[in-house]
Structure 1
Amino acid sequence: MGRRLIRPRRWMPPRVDDPGPTGPLIVVRRLGTGGHGPEDVRFDQAGRVVTGLRDGRIVWLDSVTGDRGVLGETGGRPLGVWPLGDGGVLVCDHDRGLLELGADGIVRVLADRVGGEKLTFASNVVQGRDGTIWFTTSTSRWDVDDHVGDVLEHSCTGRLLRRDPDGTVTTLLADLKFGNGLVLAPDESFLLIAETTGYRIRRHRLGDTTTDTRTGTTTDTTTGTTTDILVENLPGFPDNMSLGSDGLVWVAIAAPRNPLVDRLLPLPGFLRMLVWNLPDAIRPKAVPIAWVMAFDLDGKRVHDLRATDGSYGFVTSVAERDGVVVIGSLTEDDVAVLATTPPPAI
């Protein structure tokens, strides 16, 4: 059976600007999850690491002792997680949409359709103090197993959505270049969104807004614009993000940018179609690396930690709490704890 056809869109990526790492990424211990693919990691209020596994389980891990337990199961493929103060967890489930896993283990669907269409590839989620939930979808064209198809197609069909406390779901942005990680500013004045195939982190301001009833897109009436860019031209593919107790935005870099893909993106689409249909053995692949970065809220790079020793790979999430940094991966079995981060780069 042949691969699904891609619909290539031309895009001129910026030339790679890679200042290099500020230090090594050192794994000091692994935390067994009892499963596979801890795609997103977050600390809960008790200091435990919460993550979702490929088999649908949401588990907690003690970063010191390695103890673990199961909070519940979503019945799908959990990706982004957001621990709640009452012991529950908000979950972006690839298959089922935006869910709430209660402290009692009961799953409630918060959003599985938007604009009359099935909500696909829910990716990352945050919640405000008033109960408002913001979440991303990565693409409306591809699933997680074929995400490389979206990288080559450059579909720009990722979304940022808001779920109000009354259950209303609104599309805020509908043109994200593979919408992914999400961070809410401490004062809740803006959101940061990782655009994986745009190599950037976008900032969306949360001021007074108006909504276009035709498109469902919301515009900030205070600034006259919806977004600007916090960090652009990253040397790799940004994935999930989190705000650390250190006040930094921690960003997982799943892989370095691929020179062949960057060369193909501005060219006629049939070339990418040829690459997409190559046998797996010779198609472009992600370079094995473990990589995380951290920025302050003005977009200044503070940490850039990398490892190519095979100790861990394809990092899709990172979280920091009180100096402890943990990472997760779509392709690993374990969550990894990193060595204490070095002083900020000068």
Structure 2
Amino acid sequence: MSGLLARLFSRREAATVPSMDGVLRPNTLLDQASPLVALPEPDNLVQFGSNLAFSSGNDVLVLVPDSPAGSPPELFRRFESRVTALAVSSQSVLAVGLDGKGIGLIGGAYDGLALDQIGGVPAKGPTALAFADADTLIVCIGSAQNGPDEWQRDLMEMRATGSVWKVDLRSKAATMLASGLAFPNGVLIRGNRVVVSESWRHRLLGLDLAAVKAVPDIILEDLPGYPGRLSEGRDGGAWLAVFAPRSQLIEFALRERAYCLRMLREIPKEYWIAPTLRSGRSFREPMQGGAVRVHGIYKPWAPTRSYGLAVQLDTDLLPVRSFHSRADGSRHGIVSICEWQDRVVFASRGDDLLCTLPLDPHSPRDAAR
């Protein structure tokens, strides 16, 4: 409503963001989560057989069941470039997205298959992968201009050149399901539907698996942060990782196009007025002093460029519970979530940590009451 009023009564839309309230009311649950393993930039959590697989830089690593906290993971495979996405099929085929190298498949009938092009275009750095069935892979390409590691630049340039593809692994034929998306960054299969998180437009979209470039449905919109990876939850629910917060300052910077583009040219990335996976580590950052600290103590309610947020969704993909690490917390940049061994594991890429909480004994519907 506020956006509609701004468009009706002013020449320029106000730089507003939705408040975190109701189901998304801030808490400290992520900071209370137990550390599982510390390592650089964990990401892409998936269940691989009975193991938990995930990426760290160029490596795919696995944790075996009943691993005690702090146990080092086992190296499964090392690649020449950074791993950007993982997916596992019902036949235990592992699909691995690689920065600048396309997609490789490991195990099963497609062991050794490489997809270096999708639809005749180099498949550089997919942002998310999911198997629709044993022979069909859904691929999200975040941007036609910027790789996954350049997500901040893609946002500040206000790009909308992402796409979603359906790839037949038997023939390597690719069908475009959607284009012109603002950084599709998570994907989930729900029957004959594909659910995609569109980061820069702060929403979840639904696509028909059988359609070609159909108009997507909006499932959930106007989120208070930038949505990322999606994963299956028990009882038909799901998990959504929100990897960075929105703020009025960043929304304002995005509207000042001349200033924003000059900032990208002249200022180092770590000092941009842009969301990040971890902030508060340098006095050179955009938000400092009295805005974030009182008597040297970081205020939990301070404006922040990084945050920790995981959202539990019900069967209708509506939020029913949220897990937070606030401005002064130590679990920022939640990029991936996975249920494993009666617990839920969170990847905090901002703080180089996997952490875990026991699964709530109640269903998502009950948790919302």
TM-score (norm 2): 0.77
Asked whether the 8 Å contact 2:308–2:333 carries over to 1, the reply is yes
Asked whether the 8 Å contact 1:135–1:161 carries over to 2, the reply is yes
Asked whether the 8 Å contact 1:199–1:232 carries over to 2, the reply is yes
Q: Deviations along 1:216-254, whole A, 9 cap, x unmatched?
A: xx14xxxxx441011100000111110112321201111
Alignment of 1:138-153 (within 5 A): 138-153=142-157
Whole-angstrom CA distance in 2 between matches of 1:320 and 1:13: 36
SS at match of 1:108: coil
Instruction: Tell me whether 167-176 or 331-340 shows the greater mean CA deviation.
Output: 331-340
Q: Unpaired runs of 5+ in structure 1?
A: 1-9, 210-217, 220-224
Q: Which has the higher helix share?
A: 2
Q: 4+ residue runs of structure 1 moved beyond 6 angstroms?
A: 10-14
| CA shift in 2, pair 1:115/1:51, >3 Å | same
**Equivalent in the alignment of 1:302:** 320
Whole-angstrom CA distance in 2 between matches of 1:29 and 1:142: 35
1:258 aligned to 2:247? yes
**Equivalent in the alignment of 2:368:** 345
| CA shift in 2, pair 1:169/1:330, >3 Å | farther
1:194 aligned to 2:197? yes
Whole-angstrom CA distance in 2 between matches of 1:280 and 1:94: 19
In the alignment, which of 259, 262, 273 is matched to residue 274 of structure 1? Answer: 262
Whole-angstrom CA distance in 2 between matches of 1:288 and 1:61: 28
In the alignment, which of 108, 114, 122 is matched to residue 118 of structure 1? Answer: 122
**Equivalent in the alignment of 1:212:** none
**Equivalent in the alignment of 2:40:** 36
Whole-angstrom CA distance in 2 between matches of 1:288 and 1:13: 18
Asked whether the 8 Å contact 1:38–1:332 carries over to 2, the reply is no
| CA shift in 2, pair 1:340/1:116, >3 Å | closer
**Equivalent in the alignment of 1:80:** 85
Alignment of 1:123-162 (within 5 A): 123-162=127-166
| CA shift in 2, pair 1:156/1:12, >3 Å | farther
Compare CA radii of gyration and give the structure with the larger one. Answer: 2
In the alignment, which of 75, 88, 99 is matched to residue 94 of structure 1? Answer: 99
Asked whether the 8 Å contact 2:17–2:248 carries over to 1, the reply is no
| CA shift in 2, pair 1:87/1:132, >3 Å | closer
Whole-angstrom CA distance in 2 between matches of 1:258 and 1:297: 29
Whole-angstrom CA distance in 2 between matches of 1:195 and 1:168: 24
Aligned length: 316
Tell me by how many angstroms 1:76 deviates.
1.7
Structural RMSD (CA):
2.8
1:231 aligned to 2:220? yes
Whole-angstrom CA distance in 1 between matches of 2:15 and 2:78: 40
SS at match of 2:235: coil
Whole-angstrom CA distance in 1 between matches of 2:122 and 2:152: 22
SS at match of 1:30: strand
SS at match of 2:151: helix
Identity of aligned residues (%): 19
The letter for the 2-side match of 1:173 is A
Q: Deviations along 1:130-158, whole A, 9 cap, x unmatched?
A: 41110101112112333211111111111
In the alignment, which of 60, 63, 87 is matched to residue 62 of structure 2? Answer: 60
Whole-angstrom CA distance in 2 between matches of 1:13 and 1:171: 34
| CA shift in 2, pair 1:172/1:69, >3 Å | same
**Equivalent in the alignment of 1:336:** 355
The letter for the 1-side match of 2:314 is D
